[in-house]
Amino acid sequence: MTTAAVLSTTIPPRSPQGPFANEPFTDFKMPENERDQFAALERVASELGREYRLIIGGERLTTADKIRSLNPARPAQVVGVHQKAGAEHADKAMAAALKAFETWSRASVSDRTSLLLNAAAMIRERKFDFMAWLTYEVGKNWAEADADVGETIDFLEFYAREALRLSRATTPIQYPGERNELLYIPLGVGAVIPPWNFPFAIMAGMTAAAIVTGNTVVLKPSSDSPTIAAKFVEVLEDAGMPDGVVNFCPGSGAAFGNAIVEHPKTRFIAFTGSKPVGLEIHERAAKTMPGQIWIKRTILEMGGKDSILVCEDADFDAAVEGVIASAFGFSGQKCSACSRAIVESPIYDVFAERLRERAAQLTLGDPAANPNMGPVINKAALATMLGYIEKGKKESRLLAGGSPRRPPQTADGGFFLEPTIFADVPPNGVLAQEEIFGPVLALIKVNSFEEGLAVANNTEYGLTGSVYTSDAAKLAVARQEFHVGNLYFNRKCTGAMVGAHPFGGFNMSGTDSKAGGPDYLYLFTQAKSVAEKL
């Protein structure tokens, strides 16, 4: 293989423009932005129902079995029809990724970062369209869709800059008489298995981190959100990505997913999703397969049972708004969502009533019309949530909601659940311990800050948490003792920003990968020390 062949590329060169800064949020109160979003929804609606192919090594493939992605607000509306990769496609996808790795791993860091920066620019130009796709495919209202697209751009811009920084790494000292280098080289072929709830940002972030460090990817998106992933791969192709660097393979976890996780040539698995699936992936990856010559690396982000602790001395109004936003944003379908509000007894009753009143003000409906809350992702998820609500009625007091609701503007169905609040939930009860992943909030009464902190730490998870208090001494204790990967003071526990809040949790919340932070790209590389005698 010649050097010229290795370095040849069709990626238009692009350099970072200044230091990293988060993509600004869209102000939908501005008439021009509202107009542009309605226009994008209409434009994207004309593309719904299109069929997408598998993409393996640049080749478009069809399968007999299909995946139909549905609008959860209007289940009769097909968003996209996708091929269903099976176990028989795993070897083909791996072969394509291995072939691409031979050259992509040797591409210059400027080529790889240019790919990400070109993609970020294209997404920024079509921002409203991507928001519309998120609204149709997973039911995000405009603000939630805007945040998802903005975070996607942030990941691309941030990881491009981080890859450049990593390429300039040096050893702590130069040993006398030698030239010492520390090189961060790619691992190989990775499986990227993203979730449906942040189907653009998390999917693109894991994929971008893998490829900007020189790896190649087999991408298996969630069956609830494959269209967003297909649109992202189209962007990468338009940005100049060589064939085989990212192979687009929607499919079932039991068939294609397990096959690629277990494949002896798979070097790493980046996964975001539920605890049971994450643990199964970790277990399967740990088993050495015939012909495997490395220990597979797993980069896992799993569940959460996140708490906001509200102290007697808190800013009452700010705490109410923070709990409501954290519990019911995107219908509670975030691993970072507040599912437990732990409240000190002197303010508990008044706080509970204020939450009930505030939840009653939330609007519920088709996210295309931009209500506060849209649908939950599918029929099975709604059934699971309703099952938890029935359990909750037996162990605590239903304060608000608790019923499915069909908004008038979605006459053809939809998976909607009222914002639901339970009061007097026992700290070790089902609602306080198990991840529901929906708009169901448990209120827990405690007699002191110390008791509240103990309750906050009493789950198997450790992802996000928040404390509302005006007491600096309490914050100092929480800084040390509140055992979560992302801790917030006097603000909501959702909305981690790339660069400012590296994201990842402890215990059964995952491997604390800290996406969007300065350590994340290390997980997709291996360090090679080189010493040359002078």
Q: Report phi then psi at 437, rounded to 5.
A: 60, 50
DSSP assignment string, 54-122? EEETTEEE--SSEEEEEETTEEEEEEEEEE-B-GGGHHHHHHHHHHHHHHHTTS-HHHHHHHHHHHHHH
What is the CA angle 434-417-379, rounded to 5? 80
Closest CA to 410 of 72, 106, 119: 72
**Residues 6+ positions from 65 with CB-CB distance below 8 Å:** 83, 84, 86
Whole-Å CA distances, 397 to 206, 345, 444: 41, 16, 11
- Name the residues annotated as catalytic: 301, 335
Instruction: In whole angstroms, give the CA distance from residue 110 to residue 241.
Output: 13
**Residues 6+ positions from 14 with CB-CB distance below 8 Å:** 113, 114, 117, 118, 121
Closest CA to 143 of 386, 376, 408, 370: 370
Closest CA to 217 of 249, 185, 173, 258: 249
Find tokens 């338009």 and name the residue. 238
Find tokens 């969630």 and name the residue. 222
**Residues 6+ positions from 291 with CB-CB distance below 8 Å:** 264, 265
Instruction: In whole angstroms, give the CA distance from residue 341 to residue 319.
Output: 10
* CA 181 remoteness from chain centre: 35
Handedness of CA 66, 245, 501, 509 (dihedral sign): positive
**Residues 6+ positions from 409 with CB-CB distance below 8 Å:** 365, 366, 369
For residue 157, how many C-alpha atoms fall within 13 Å in the half-sphere facing its CB?
22
